[in-house]
A and B are shown apart, each in its own frame.
Chain A
Amino acid sequence: MRSSRSVAHSVSLKVDSCQMDSDYENLGGCEPGQVFLLQYSGGPAAGCPDTLELCEVREGTATSQHVRDETPGEEQISSLRRNHWSAATLKVLSAMPSRTAGKSSAAVISRRSRPQRHRTSPRDSSQPPRPIQDDFSEADVGEASTEGAAGNNFWFTGNKKEQLVSNLRGLSASEAMRKLRALPFCLADKMELRRLAFSDVATGSLISRNVPCYSFLSVYISRTWRHCLFSCHSVLGSLHLWQLSTKRLGGRFGTGVVSYFLFLRMLLRLNLLLLVTNGLFVVVPQAIHPPPLRDSHLDNFIGLNLLTGTGYLSQSVMFYGYYTNTTVTACQAALSTARSNGGSPDLPVRDNDRCQTVPYNIPAAYFYTTAIAFFITCIILVYSISKSFGRSFHVLKSNRNLAVKVFCTWDFKLSKKTSVRFQSEKISIQLKELLSEMISGDERKSCLQGLGHLVVNLLTWAVCLVGITLGATGVHFLSETTIRRGAVRETELLLLSAAVSGVNLLLPGLFNLCVWVEKHDSPSVYVYVSIFRNLLLKISIVGVLCFRWLGRVAVEPESRDLKCWESFVGQELYRLLLMDFIFTVLYTFLGEFLWRLFSKQVLKRNRKPVFDIARNVLELIYGQTLTWLGVLFSPPLPVVQIIKLLLLFYLKKSSLIANCQGPGQPWRASQMTTLFSTLLFFPSFVSAAVSIAYTLWTIKPSSGCGPFRTLTTMFHSGKLWAQELENAHPVLSWLSWVYNSLVENPVFLFLATGVFLRGRTKGSSSPNCKPSVNNSIWFPLIDE
């Protein structure tokens, strides 16, 4: 192996941080690597080691080698030569259509490849001049041939490299980095390209003297920032939540199951965002100034309160009733907190000169925080959908392609022996099934058989729909009964939540049974049917509940003797979330653990229950919908959801490892991720956002509690605050104009978002959809 390449590689390894700097600026050179000696011993069978001297690193990677052995004229050529690819690799690379004119002439390749075998032998290090001259002539030949890319010095013939570099320079930094990553060169070459493309000032001159003083500081700052960023990278990497667990799960169960856990992690992050915004802007300011009126007979805390959310908790920071419609300031003067009309002016208290801090209007903060949090969540969700769409653009296409099955189904993540064996079995079974289908697939199914299947499918659909209707009606009936009965005991409050969770638990089992009975053409149809049914169930349940809250409780709160209907709704949502979690724990324990024991001991079957991804994901989506609905009525509700998700992760993980096996059907994980994100956005988030918007815009808040108590709708608080601001500081009138045209005109907001996201989607999806276009950018001389 040639010392040139090896030295170049080792140089590039040692000066990593310098390479990073050269991305944007190559000032000051590379401090550690100015001159150093490298002891090189080449290859296992090498002869004598050479000691080489390196000049300045920037040029070092280009000119390092063979100082003793080369004449100056050839130094340039051999300095450009980097890789001595084996003949086999060269043949592959050279014949790839992205680099050749289409016809690979094997003769030329074989002629060129023979002398290289010569050169890669380490014994040649004893006779340096000959191979170099060979290379030189090879380079000539390479350049002269029509297959400019083919040949050993493929890209190091001068103008090719310059062309690539100039292509890179012509693009923006991020585009160029993306293109660079997609090139099929080895790491050292890419680093070289990057260094050449991005260090405009770099070549040759001693940079440090040419830096003007005024930009030195900014360069220094940006370089220090980059160093910090890279050192933080390792810390941030370790904070990447659950990295090791997901890797282990993927190694054992495959990509499909891991997508569930990754989805869980995404939900956790969304909730963290909600919590941070709500906490900072709503909870903490109010918690510092607790409301003056408290119902003292609710002051003792009993354990059941934690479950029902009533009693002590109903007056805590947890629910809507705690928040006041005052303007609080940071100073403790009694006067400043005593104002209790919603239209209080925004001026600081005049008779206390020590209060210099900005007053904080709680109702406006409550309203705006909720609105902005929803808006940001919407943006994040649409962005993530567009990103995953870009990766998997065939979303609903079912796949019967044999070749694809052979080449694309092996999950490289699997690392456990039993899982690998299991996957081999699965693939053999699928291939056999496909083969038999293909062989016998031409025979048309008999009419009777087709009719039979149709009848069975219709029946199962009817059963499922009836089940869903019954469940929803039952919940509705129970809800109406509790409304009519008025004030109830605390334990009875749990009845509705328990009923809802029970329906959510039992009906998916029915759906699984129906799917087992049905017959479909392709395995993925089972998955989609199952997801759709679960989705219908959840939508109907949430719909019934929303009607209960917004259509009955909010409109006639007197019928329930409710002083504060918003707190009541918040408590209901809290109870629903808790019950959901408790029932999930029960199901995991009974449905998975005990079932496994039962089937093993009693039924004597060795197969573990299958991890039902569809059901679990829809459970997550349902929980998240409830959280979004509840954020308006209970600002710290994301805490509950976060704790629930954390516990759920570990619970599901241990249950999976102990009790379950991976799904038997082929789970196309990329499509599933897109589907989950779409389901999270479209029915779940949109319905929550619409309900919240409806509440904010139309429903009258209760007059006895909460931050909006004197207003006709919650939305007015925002308007009032804007008006006050305008009155106090007339110079900010343009702000109110902006507010009026933006917020009152949601169309404008959606338009802006749509334009932004369209631009983003285009950018993210184009590289994956059009590989040929990419190629033509990079190898302009070679095509046609």
Chain B
Amino acid sequence: MDYTNEPDCKLPLALIVNMPELKENPFRSRIVESFSEDGMGNLSFNEFVDMFSVLSEMAPRELKAIYAFKIYDFNVDNYLCKEDLEKTLNRLTKEELTPEEVELVCEKAIEEADLDGDNKLSYADFENMITRAPDFLSTFHIRI
């Protein structure tokens, strides 16, 4: 992959997720996929820069919220439904919670954050929830 002669090359997902900053992150493939144009995780240089700029310290809260929502939306349907939450939880806890506990957590989480009552979290619900988490800016941050 010769960047000088082919500046348009795209790095495959498998290569990017092996970066030391991302290697152990449970959401690494989702992160890379949400910044890639084709949705498959192949990043061009600009997209790569985008990714780390959104994850940097200087990115504003709103931008981080938009991309955090994309990352957690596993089935890319623009809503955080129960299945998305379940997948998120399993990745967070490395399957340490029992299925009943997972189910309960998802239900309660949706109950707490859902404002329009459609049993799933839209971006507006998610953003509203983020404003109640002052730590979001410091946890949703990768330092390179």
Q: Quick one: which of A740-784 are within 8 Å of B by CB?
A: 767-768, 771, 774-775
Q: Per-residue 0/1 for B82-125: is the Cβ within 8 Å of any A Cβ (1 yes, 0 no)?
A: 00010011001110110001001100111011000000011110
> Are B55 and A408 in contact, CB atoms less than 8 angstroms apart?
no
A417-434 CB mask vs B (1 if < 8 Å, else 0) is 100110011011001100
When A402-B105, A669-B135, A767-B60 are in contact, do A10 and B76 touch as well, CB less than 8 Å?
no
Rounded to whole angstroms, the CA-CA distance of A420 and B20 in the bound complex is 13
> Given A88-B39, A406-B88, A410-B92, do A42 and B143 touch, yes or no (CB 8 Å)?
no
Q: Would B138 and A255 count as touching, CB distance under 8 A?
A: yes
The answer to whether A92 and B109 touch across the interface, beta carbons within 8 angstroms, is no
Docked CA distance A407–B69 (Å)? 9
User: Nearest 8 CB-CB pairs, A to B?
Assistant: A392-B134, A10-B7, A408-B133, A403-B109, A403-B113, A6-B8, A428-B93, A428-B96
Using A408-B133, A431-B93, A669-B135 as known contacts, say yes or no to A92 and B105 having CB atoms under 8 A apart. Answer: no
Q: Is the CB of A13 within 8 A of B45?
A: yes
A73 contacts the other chain (Cβ, under 8 Å)? no
- Tell me if B59 and A181 are in contact (CB < 8 A): yes
Among A384-428, those with CB < 8 Å from B are 391-395, 399, 401-404, 406-417, 420-421, 424-425, 427-428
CA gap between A767 and B134 in the complex, in Å: 14
Min CB gap A176→B, angstroms: 14
Q: Which residue of B lies closest to A431 (CB)?
A: B105
Query: Could you say which residues of chain B place their CB within 8 Å of the CB of A774?
Result: 62
- Is the CB–CB distance between A184 and B67 below 8 Å? yes
The interface centre, meaning the residue of B5, B45, B143 with most chain A CB atoms within 10 A of its CB, is: B143
**Assembled-state Cα–Cα distance A6/B143 (Å):** 28
Q: Tell yes or no: A458 within 8 A of B by CB.
A: no
Chain A, residues 167-194, CB within 8 Å of chain B (1/0): the string is 0000000000010011110111000000
CB–CB A88/B6 < 8 A: no
Pair B38/A86 contact, Cβ less than 8 Å: yes
Indicate if A39 sits at the interface (CB-CB under 8 A). yes
Q: Tell me whether A402 and B109 are in contact (CB under 8 A).
A: yes
How far does the alpha carbon of A255 sit from the alpha carbon of B96 in the complex, in Å? 23
Neighbouring A residues of B10 by C-beta, 8 Å: 43-44
B54-76 to A contact mask, C-beta < 8 Å, 1/0: 01001111110111101011001
Interface flags, A505-529, vs B, CB<8A=1, else 0: 0000000000000000000000000
Seed contacts A186-B46, A403-B112, A417-B24; 19 additional CB < 8 Å A-B pairs? A13-B45, A39-B5, A86-B39, A95-B78, A178-B60, A247-B143, A255-B138, A255-B141, A399-B132, A402-B109, A403-B110, A414-B25, A421-B94, A424-B94, A427-B92, A428-B93, A431-B101, A771-B65, A775-B62
B121 → A minimal CB distance (Å)? 8
Closest to B127 in A: A771
Q: Are B93 and A92 in contact (CB under 8 A)?
A: no
A104 at the interface (CB under 8 A from B): yes
Decide if B138 touches A669 in the complex (CB within 8 Å).
Answer: yes
The residue that B124 contacts in the complex, of A97, A410, A768, with Cβ under 8 A, is A97
Query: Cβ of A242 < 8 Å from any Cβ of B?
Result: no
Contact of B60 among A182, A188, A394 (CB under 8 A): A182
Nearest CB to that of B97 among chain A residues? A428
The smallest beta-carbon distance between A261 and chain B, in angstroms, is 13
Flag if A438 contacts B108 (CB, 8 Å).
yes
- A interface with B by C-beta (< 8 Å): 1, 6-7, 9-10, 12-14, 39-44, 83-86, 88-89, 91-92, 95-97, 104, 120, 178, 181-184, 186-188, 246-247, 250, 255, 391-395, 399, 401-404, 406-417, 420-421, 424-425, 427-428, 431-432, 435, 438, 668-671, 767-768, 771, 774-775
Name 19 interchain pairs, CB-CB below 8 A, sorted by A: A13-B7, A84-B37, A95-B78, A184-B62, A184-B66, A255-B141, A407-B126, A408-B130, A410-B26, A413-B139, A428-B94, A431-B97, A431-B101, A431-B105, A435-B101, A668-B134, A671-B135, A767-B60, A771-B62
The number of inter-chain residue pairs (CB within 8 angstroms) is 210
Nearest CB of chain B from residue A132's CB, rounded to whole Å: 19
With a cutoff of 8 Å between Cβ atoms, the chain B residues found around residue A44 in the complex are 10
Residues in B with CB closer than 8 Å to A438 are: 108
CB distance from B24 to the nearest CB of A (A): 4
Instruction: Tell me whether A86 and B37 are in contact (CB under 8 A).
Output: yes
Give the Cβ gap from A154 to chain B, nearest Cβ, in Å.
Answer: 14
Residues of B within 8 Å of A97, CB to CB, are 122-124
Which single residue of chain A is at the shortest CB-CB distance from B142? A412
Partner of B134, one of A41, A88, A671: A671
Shortest C-beta distance, B54 to chain A (Å), equals 8
Report the minimum CB–CB distance from B86 to chain A (whole Å): 10
Query: In the complex, how many angstroms separate the beta carbon of B30 from the nearest chain A beta carbon?
Result: 12
Is there an interface contact between B108 and A404, defined as CB atoms closer than 8 Å?
Answer: no
A183 to B121, CA, bound (A): 22
Which of B7, B72, B112 has the most A CB atoms < 10 Å from its CB?
A: B7
CA distance A425 to B100 in the complex (A): 18
Are A10 and B123 closer than 8 Å at their CB atoms? no
Name the residue on B nearest A430 (C-beta): B93
Report the minimal beta-carbon distance from B92 to chain A, rounded to whole angstroms.
6
With contact pairs A428-B93, A431-B93, A771-B62 given, residues A402 and B137 touching in the complex (Cβ less than 8 Å)? no
Smallest Cβ-Cβ distance to A418: which chain B residue: B24
Complex Cα gap A96–B96 (Å): 33
A735-B125 Cα distance, complex, nearest whole Å: 59
B129 close to A (CB within 8 Å): yes
On chain B, the residues within 8 Å of A6 by CB distance are: 8, 44
Is the Cβ of B78 less than 8 Å from the Cβ of A407? Answer: no
- Expressed in whole angstroms, the minimum distance between the Cβ of B58 and any Cβ of chain A is 7
- Which residues on the B side are within 8 Å of A404 (C-beta)? 129, 132-133
- How many angstroms from the CA of A167 to the CA of B77 in the assembled complex? 31
Residues from chain B with Cβ under 8 Å of A409 in the complex? 135, 139
How many Å from the CB of B123 to the closest CB on chain A? 5
**Bound CA–CA A194/B92 (angstroms):** 38
CB distance from A621 to the nearest CB of B (A): 21
CA distance A86 to B112 in the complex (A): 32
Q: Tell me which residues across on chain A come within 8 A of B94, comparing CB atoms.
A: 421, 424, 428
Interface core residue of B68, B72, B93, B108 (most chain A CB under 10 Å): B93
Beta-carbon contact of A411 and B143 below 8 Å: no
Query: Are B24 and A414 within 8 A (Cβ)?
Result: yes
Binary per-residue interface labels of chain B (21-42) against chain A in the complex, 1 for a CB within 8 Å, 0 otherwise: 1111111000000000111000
Q: What B residues does A420 contact at CB under 8 A?
A: 24-26
Closest residue of B by beta carbon distance from A405: B109
